[in-house]
Structure 1
Amino acid sequence: MAFDGLFTHAVTKELATLLDGGKVSKIQQPYPNELVMTIRANGKNLPLLISANPQFARMQITKIPFKSPAVPSTFTMTMRKYLAAAKLTGITQVSNDRIVHMDFTTRDELGDDMQLRLIIEIMARHSNITLINVGTNRIIDLIRHVPADENRYRLLMPGADYVPAPAQDKLNPFTAKSSDYADLTDGSEKDVEVLAGNIQGRFQGLDRISARELATRVSRGIGGIAWQEFFAAFDKAEPTITTGKRMWFTAVPYGTLEGERTGYANISAMLDAFYAQRAERERVQAVGGSIIRVLKTNINRLENKLKKFDEGLAASERADELRLRGEILTTYLSQVPRGAKSVELPNYYDDMKPIKIRLQPDLGPNQNAQKYYTRYQKLRKSVSHINEQKAEANEELSYLQGILDLVDLAAPKDLEDIRTELQAAGNIRRPSKDKRKRPKVAKPDSFWASDGTHILVGKNNLQNDQLTLKTANKHDIWLHAKDVPGSHVIVESPDPSDKTLLEAANLAAYYSRSQHSGNVQVDYIEVKRIKKPNGAKPGYVIYTGQRTLVVTPDEALVNRMKTKPTL
Structure 2
Amino acid sequence: MIDGFVLRKVTDELQSLRSERLRQIYQYEKFVLYLYFESSVVRICLQPLLQHVCLTQKEDFSDHHPSNFVMLLRSRLRNGKLIEIDQHELDRILFFTIDKIDEVGQRHEYKLYVELFGTHSNLVLVEDGIVIDCFREVKSTARQVVKGEPYTLPTRSLNPLKIDYADFQLSSFEKVSKYIQSTFYGFSKILVNEILHRAGVSDLPISALSEKEKALLKHAFFSIIDDFYKSQVCVYSLEEKFILSCIPLTMPFARKLKCFESPSAAVDGLYQIESKRQKAKKLSEELRKAVEDMIQKEEKLIESVENEIKECEKMNEYFKFGELLKYASESDRQGDQALVFDWYTGQKVCIPLVKGKSVKESSQHYFELYKKMKEKLPVLKAKLDRAKSRLDYLKNLKKQIESSEDLEVLEGIKEELFPQKKRSDQRAEDKPGFRIFQYEGFTIVVGRNNKQNDELVRKSSSKDIWLHAQGIPGAHVVIKVQDKVPPESVIRFAAGLAAYYSNARYSSNVPVDYTEVKNVYKPKGFPPGKVLYTNFSTVFVDPLSVEQFVQKAD
TM-score w.r.t. the length of structure 2 is: 0.70
Q: Spell out, residue by residue over 1:442-470, the C-alpha distance to the aligned partner (whole angstroms, 9 max, x if none).
A: 24255545647554434235555666656
Q: Spell out, residue by residue over 1:410-453, the C-alpha distance to the aligned partner (whole angstroms, 9 max, x if none).
A: 754567666665565xxx5x4xxx65445525242555456475
User: Are the equivalent residues in 1 in contact too, given 2:81–2:98 (CA < 8 A)?
Assistant: yes
Q: Percent identity?
A: 24
User: Are the equivalent residues in 2 in contact too, given 1:170–1:202 (CA < 8 A)?
Assistant: yes
User: Are the equivalent residues in 2 in contact too, given 1:20–1:89 (CA < 8 A)?
Assistant: no
Gaps of 5+ in 1: none
Deviates more, 1:527-536 or 1:369-378: 527-536
CA distance in 2, matches of 1:498, 1:227: 54
How far apart are residue 294 of structure 1 and its match? 5.6
1:170 aligns with 2:157: yes
Alignment of 1:29-108 (within 5 A): 32-34=30-32, 50-59=44-53, 71-74=63-66, 92-101=86-95
Q: 1:61–1:560: structure 2 CA closer, same or farther, 3 Å change rule?
A: farther
How far apart are residue 71 of structure 1 and its match? 1.7
Alignment of 1:500-515 (within 5 A): 500-515=490-505
Choose the corresponding residue for 2:318, options 318, 322, 328: 322
CA distance in 2, matches of 1:329, 1:392: 38
How far apart are residue 308 of structure 1 and its match? 1.6
Q: Spell out, residue by residue over 1:366-418, the C-alpha distance to the aligned partner (whole angstroms, 9 max, x if none).
A: 44444344333333333222122223334445555666666664754567666
Q: Which amino acid aligns with 1:195?
A: V
How far apart are residue 473 of structure 1 and its match? 7.5
CA distance in 1, matches of 2:478, 2:23: 36
Choose the corresponding residue for 2:115, options 106, 118, 121: 121
Q: Which amino acid aligns with 1:337?
A: D
CA distance in 1, matches of 2:278, 2:168: 41
Q: Spell out, residue by residue over 1:217-248, the C-alpha distance to the aligned partner (whole angstroms, 9 max, x if none).
A: 3653515333322443344447474645x657
Alignment of 1:467-546 (within 5 A): 477-481=465-469, 485-491=473-479, 494=482, 495=484, 496-518=486-508, 520-524=510-514
User: Are the equivalent residues in 2 in contact too, given 1:406–1:512 (CA < 8 A)?
Assistant: yes
Task: Look up the SS of the partner of 1:146 in the other structure.
Answer: coil
Task: Look up the SS of the partner of 1:376 in the other structure.
Answer: helix
Deviates more, 1:371-380 or 1:262-271: 262-271
1:233 aligns with 2:230: no
Choose the corresponding residue for 1:195, options 161, 176, 182: 176
CA distance in 2, matches of 1:109, 1:454: 61
Choose the corresponding residue for 2:6, options 1, 5, 11: 11
Q: Which amino acid aligns with 1:184?
A: S
Q: What corresponds to 1:154 in structure 2? A: 145
Q: What corresponds to 1:283 in structure 2? A: 279
Q: CA RMSD in A?
A: 5.4
User: Are the equivalent residues in 2 in contact too, given 1:98–1:122 (CA < 8 A)?
Assistant: yes
Q: 1:164–1:224: structure 2 CA closer, same or farther, 3 Å change rule?
A: same
Deviates more, 1:8-17 or 1:246-255: 246-255
User: Are the equivalent residues in 2 in contact too, given 1:99–1:120 (CA < 8 A)?
Assistant: yes
CA distance in 2, matches of 1:87, 1:411: 42
How far apart are residue 530 of structure 1 and its match? 7.1
Task: Look up the SS of the partner of 1:167 in the other structure.
Answer: coil
How far apart are residue 208 of structure 1 and its match? 4.8
Q: Which amino acid aligns with 1:167?
A: P
Q: 1:478–1:30: structure 2 CA closer, same or farther, 3 Å change rule?
A: farther
User: Are the equivalent residues in 2 in contact too, given 1:133–1:139 (CA < 8 A)?
Assistant: yes
Q: 1:487–1:86: structure 2 CA closer, same or farther, 3 Å change rule?
A: farther
Alignment of 1:87-486 (within 5 A): 92-101=86-95, 119-128=113-122, 132=125, 145-146=135-136, 153-155=144-146, 167=154, 169-176=156-163, 182-184=169-171, 194-208=175-189, 210-211=191-192, 213-214=194-195, 217=199, 219=209, 220=213, 222=215, 223-237=217-231, 239=234, 241=236, 243=238, 247=241, 249=243, 251=245, 252=247, 258-259=252-253, 261-262=255-256, 264-266=258-260, 279-286=275-282, 297-330=293-326, 333=328, 337-342=332-337, 357-360=351-354, 362-397=356-391, 409=404, 411-412=406-407, 424=419, 430=421, 435-437=423-425, 440-441=428-429, 442-444=431-433, 446-449=435-438, 451=440, 455-461=444-450, 463-464=452-453, 477-481=465-469, 485-486=473-474
TM-score w.r.t. the length of structure 1 is: 0.69
How far apart are residue 282 of structure 1 and its match? 1.8
Q: 1:502–1:51: structure 2 CA closer, same or farther, 3 Å change rule?
A: farther
Task: Look up the SS of the partner of 1:184 in the other structure.
Answer: coil
Choose the corresponding residue for 1:558, options 538, 546, 554: 546
CA distance in 1, matches of 2:475, 2:59: 20
User: Are the equivalent residues in 1 in contact too, given 2:5–2:90 (CA < 8 A)?
Assistant: no
CA distance in 1, matches of 2:405, 2:354: 62
Q: 1:456–1:248: structure 2 CA closer, same or farther, 3 Å change rule?
A: closer
CA distance in 2, matches of 1:109, 1:522: 70
Q: What corresponds to 2:206 in structure 1? A: none
Gaps of 5+ in 2: 202-208
Q: Spell out, residue by residue over 1:101-153, the C-alpha distance to the aligned partner (whole angstroms, 9 max, x if none).
A: 356789999999997766433222223456x587897768x7xx436899994
| Count of aligned residue pairs for this structure pair | 527
